[in-house]
Amino acid sequence: MKKKLRDYKNSFYFRILLMVLVGISITAITVSFVVLIMSKSAFNKTYTKSQEKVFDRIEKELNDFHESLLEVVNAIDTSWAFRLYLNSNEMDNLQAFQNIHQMEADLEKSKSANMERLNILVLSADKQKHYLSRTETISVSDEEIWESKAVKLAVEEPEVIHYSFSEGAYTMTTKDSDVIIVSKALYYQEREEVYGVVLATLTMEDMKKYYDYFVTEYTEFYLVGDNDRVFCSSDKSSVGNKLPSFSLGHTVMKRDLNYLGCTMYGVIDSQHALGKLYNMSLLIIICVAIGIVMLAVGSIYTRQTIRPLSQLVEKMSTLKEGNFTEYMPLSGTSEVQELASTYNYMLDDIQNYIKELLRIQKEKRKSEIKALQMQINPHYIYNTLASIKWLLYRNDTDTIVKTMDAFISLLRNTISNADEFITVEQEIRNLDDYILINHVRYGEAVKVEYFISNGCKNCLLPKLLIQPFIENAFFHAFPDGKSGTIQIVMQVKDNNLEIKVIDDGVGMTQEQAQKITTGESNKEHFTGIGINNVQDRIKLIYGKEYGLVIDSVDGVGTSVTIKLPAREKENTDEE
């Protein structure tokens, strides 16, 4: 009974249950503060929504202003009085008076109530005439006005109304004030010719009436143009500068005013607004104190419980790196001890399984090598012996001896030698024997050249790796006694052994080359080893990142590239 009670107290379940009890006690203390935080969130949402409605109203009024301004510009552009005034140079005083009176009537008729204080200047393209809607003195010449940024924008895009910020305008009352100049070209559509320009000046006070009711102690308003430059704002220090960045305590509202060619921002300092309602400093101190208490209590009760489990997780993570020797000590709660014991048993089973798998793989590879050694095509042996017999009739003793030596050496290295790996130097000797026999049988129309880097000769590679590609070149690249050259190029590149077998034979299509690589082609070689067999052996021994690639052009030739890891004989432990 006592043992069961001790196991229960030491169990993970008991300790977690104790933590829950402590957590509930602390939660009861903090409920009031949670309610306070919820009320804070509700206030924030309500205040933000109310300001968004005001912000939407500003957007509507600015768009209405733009529509009204567009009507004024269109009225000026379609008024015969304005056209006659800007384009006619011969007009007596009576005609001029009547024309100006009609211009004023057309302008007043098109202006809405919110544009009474708007200062409108109409300037002719020849810079000889201008009309100002208010009785003021123009402080600069017509030529200077025509060279201003606002006029240039209007002339470049005559069908668009442009808004631009300027530190001063063209009248005595606005020359030292920050203003927004609205510009629109007067344009003959039929002749595609600008005959004048309309300029409307908005002072910052004029703009203020659109956003003033939005601005409070906690809110700011910004109109931003190109390159994030502020050209109108309740924050006067930001005018002419880039839009300032805002902290997380700010709520930012944004509207793209496509008609005005700018962006409108409304910024609410939520943190400042809420600071007036709540003693945030006291709340933060209380929350931090509660957090510290919870952290201390939790650390005391969970340290002994969680630590063994964390150690088990760390041990298990080493399995990804192939480390199967990190056993877990039996400590902690009874549940964790059971997990650790099972984990240790699992490690033993994995190690036994790996050893057995390695043994089976080793036996499998040895069996494959033996099978490859027994796959020499009998016809090749018969044809070679027949060639030797033919040489006997010719009494060509020297050639017979060389052929027999090459044949014996080739048989010894392919049948008798059980080694899975040989050096590049040994492979070259085998190739020399094979090429000599083929030259005796078929003549020397096909030449073989070697280009072997010095660092390659002692590198290891699987036996019978290159021979299938040499044979393929002999019998398929140069049919009907066609002459040519086979080049064997070897080099060490980026810690890899790169082997190329290149011929200038008849070649093939890339589709045929792909079929040979994947084993879809039914062509066989004297060894009985298909090229796809070579591909499979490379990937089995070295991994998927190694293998061969065949590139061929029909009528030009074929190139086979084999990539293996560069391993030298003295550094390789043959399994």
Predicted pLDDT at 412? 74
Contact 150, 181 (CB under 8 A): yes
Predicted pLDDT at 490? 93
Q: Dump the DSSP string for 177-213.
A: SEEEEEEEEEEETTTTEEEEEEEEEEEHHHHHHHHTT
Our measurement of the distance from residue 464's CA atom to the centroid of its chain's CA atoms, rounded to an integer in Å, reads 44
Q: Do the first three CATH levels of 53-271 and 374-571 match, i.e. the same topology?
A: no
Domain locations in the chain as residue ranges: 53-271, 374-571
Q: Count of H helices and E strands in the chain?
A: 16, 16
Whether the pLDDT of residue 498 is over 90: the answer is yes
Spatial distance between the Cα atoms of 509 and 558, rounded to a whole number of angstroms: 10
Predicted pLDDT at 489? 94
Take residue 437 and report the two structure tokens written for it: 């026999």
The mean predicted confidence, pLDDT, of the chain is: 78
Predicted pLDDT at 278? 59
> Packing angle between helix 280-317 and helix 334-373, nearest 10 degrees?
40
Mean pLDDT of 390-410: 77
Whether the pLDDT of residue 60 is over 80: the answer is yes
Identify the band that residue 525 occupies on the pLDDT scale cut at 50, 70 and 90: very low
How is domain 374-571 classified at the architecture level of CATH?
2-Layer Sandwich (3.30)
Look at the block and give the residue holding tokens 């704002």.
233
Sheet containing 496-503, strands listed edge to edge, beginning at the edge strand earlier in sequence: 446-452, 484-493, 496-503, 557-565, 547-553
Phi then psi dihedrals of residue 230, to 5 deg: -80, 125
In a 10 Å sphere around its CB, with 0-12 CB exposed, 13-18 middle and 19+ buried, how is residue 222 labelled? Answer: buried
- With helix as H, strand as E and coil as C, how does 118-183 read? CEEEEEECCCCCEEECCCCCECCCHHHHHCCHHHHHHHHCCCCCEEEEEECCCECCCCCCEEEEEE
Mean pLDDT of 545-568: 91
Domain 53-271 fold: Beta-Lactamase (3.30.450)
Q: Dump the DSSP string for 240-251.
A: TSBPPP--TTEE
Spatial distance between the Cα atoms of 532 and 524, rounded to a whole number of angstroms: 11
Spatial distance between the Cα atoms of 188 and 352, rounded to a whole number of angstroms: 93
Whether the pLDDT of residue 252 is over 70: the answer is yes
